[in-house]
Amino acid sequence: MGFKMGIVGLPNVGKSTLFNALTKTASAQAANFPFCTIEPNVGEVGVPDARLDKLAAIAGSKQIIPTRMTFVDIAGLVKGASKGEGLGNQFLANIRETDAIAHVLRCFEDGDVTHVDGRVDPVADAETIETELMLADLESIEKRRANLVRKLKGNDKEAQQQERLLAEAQAMLEDGKPARLVEVDEDDAKAWKMLQLLSTKPVLYVCNVGESESVAGNAHSAKVAEMAAAQGNSHVIISAQIEEEISQLESEEAQMFLEEMGLEEAGLDRLIRAGYELLHLETYFTVGPKEARAWTIRQGTSGPQAAGVIHGDFEKGFIRAETIAFDDFVACNGEQGAKEAGKMRSEGKSYVVKDGDVMHFLFNT
């Protein structure tokens, strides 16, 4: 079950530097000129979760396998991208394939690093990209509605649903607001997602600040925080340059470096967790002597659906799930102790998996 977050932003805001740090590689060329990222670079990263290490220690697991998120470093966008300016068309197509957007905003002053608009104004930068996504959506909606005319005359129910949803999205966009603000009924959720409108993607603002501002941020990041709160979006403060340096160090050295900088943890850990929360994801665990493993599911996932993340046959033949809450597993020092204390539950097909559940699935082959 893959989840993709696209790293977007105007040219020269630190997207590729951040991507390098995320993937602990230098595969994304970071250079001081626009469009140095032509093809989107893709990297998978483990989601930090201290619970997994604790479970592995208790069970004596030989291997620890974290759940993962995919980050896509997408070419820099400029004003007019919705009309094909710069690498606009390619940029927009790459965003369409992601589940969410990590919008990197330049919140640092540096005369040696050029800004495409010749000034540092992260709120204006955010508005530029949001506007381009909205304009691209409007163009897409107009084309789609025109193509639905024939089907609507034939009373095609699927076409009628699409037309209704597209009309709602268009009205929101023409009011100057992103399509993500449209209230969608549960019955329409699948059809709405199939529209793949760019401005429906949830947004996490990443404030890229200078090294000395990595703890508390600055006036620029404060404005972004205010904007994010007003929109109901999230933000994190990160110094991409620091994070890239940390990513090249061994774990002990990295921890010492963080302490010297006055940071409790790497900003990338906060970014990954924030992305996980933004997508309404949670984690369950499978634990044994061979491996302790984290699995990603969406909030509200049933037992059989969670089993299906491991293998489709598990979902098809699901019988029940032997389940122990994380806190109970730790307090009882493992599976056997939890059993003896009556903390292991047998959950059926209607059970909604909780974040942190330690699970063992029984199924028919």
CATH number of residue 115's parent domain: 3.40.50.300
User: Is residue 139 domain-shared with residue 262, that is, in the same domain?
Assistant: yes
User: Is residue 260 domain-shared with residue 353, that is, in the same domain?
Assistant: no
* Residue 291 maps to a domain: no
278, 311, 346 — which closes off a domain?
Answer: 278
Higher pLDDT, 117 or 135: 135
Give the model confidence (pLDDT) of 130-148 as tens digits: 998 899 899 999 999 999 9
Spatial separation of the C-alpha atoms in residues 92 and 238, rounded to whole Å:
25
List CB contacts of 234: < 8 A, sequence separation 6 or more. 204, 205, 228, 274, 277, 278
* Residue 283 maps to a domain: no
* Residue 287 maps to a domain: no
Instruction: Provide the domain limits for residue 314.
Output: 300-363
pTM: 0.80
* Residue 121 maps to a domain: yes
278, 310, 333 — which closes off a domain?
Answer: 278
**DSSP β-ladder status, 4-8 and 68-73:** parallel
User: Is residue 111 domain-shared with residue 32, that is, in the same domain?
Assistant: yes
User: Is residue 349 domain-shared with residue 240, that is, in the same domain?
Assistant: no
pLDDT surpassing 80 at residue 117? no
pLDDT surpassing 60 at residue 314? yes
pLDDT exceeding 90 applies to what percent of the chain? Answer: 49
Give the model confidence (pLDDT) of 23-82 as tens digits: 774 344 344 433 334 455 788 888 888 899 999 999 999 999 998 888 888 866 555 544
* Residue 284 maps to a domain: no
User: Is residue 25 domain-shared with residue 119, that is, in the same domain?
Assistant: yes
Spatial separation of the C-alpha atoms in residues 98 and 194, rounded to whole Å:
13
Higher pLDDT, 193 or 2: 193
pLDDT exceeding 70 applies to what percent of the chain? Answer: 88
With left for phi above 0 and alpha for psi between -120 and 50, is residue 84 left, alpha or beta? left
* Residue 170 maps to a domain: yes
User: Is residue 223 domain-shared with residue 309, that is, in the same domain?
Assistant: no
User: Is residue 216 domain-shared with residue 330, that is, in the same domain?
Assistant: no
- Are 27 and 43 contacting, i.e. CB atoms less than 8 angstroms apart? yes
Question: Which residues are paired to 73 by β-bridges?
Answer: 7, 41
The CATH number linked to 317 is 3.10.20.30
User: Is residue 252 domain-shared with residue 131, that is, in the same domain?
Assistant: yes
What pLDDT score was predicted for residue 80? 55
User: Is residue 11 domain-shared with residue 137, that is, in the same domain?
Assistant: yes
User: Is residue 168 domain-shared with residue 234, that is, in the same domain?
Assistant: yes
247, 278, 309 — which closes off a domain?
Answer: 278
- From the list 101, 105, 98, the residue with the least C-alpha distance to 178 is 101
Mean pLDDT over each residue of the chain, to the nearest integer: 86
For the residues 336-342, what does the mean pLDDT come to? 96
User: Is residue 85 domain-shared with residue 217, that is, in the same domain?
Assistant: yes
CA atoms in the 13 A half-sphere facing the CB of 239: 20
List CB contacts of 92: < 8 A, sequence separation 6 or more. 81, 82, 132, 133, 136, 198
* Residue 268 maps to a domain: yes
What pLDDT score was predicted for residue 40? 57
What pLDDT score was predicted for residue 112? 61
Domain count, the chain: 2
User: Is residue 50 domain-shared with residue 155, that is, in the same domain?
Assistant: yes
* Residue 288 maps to a domain: no
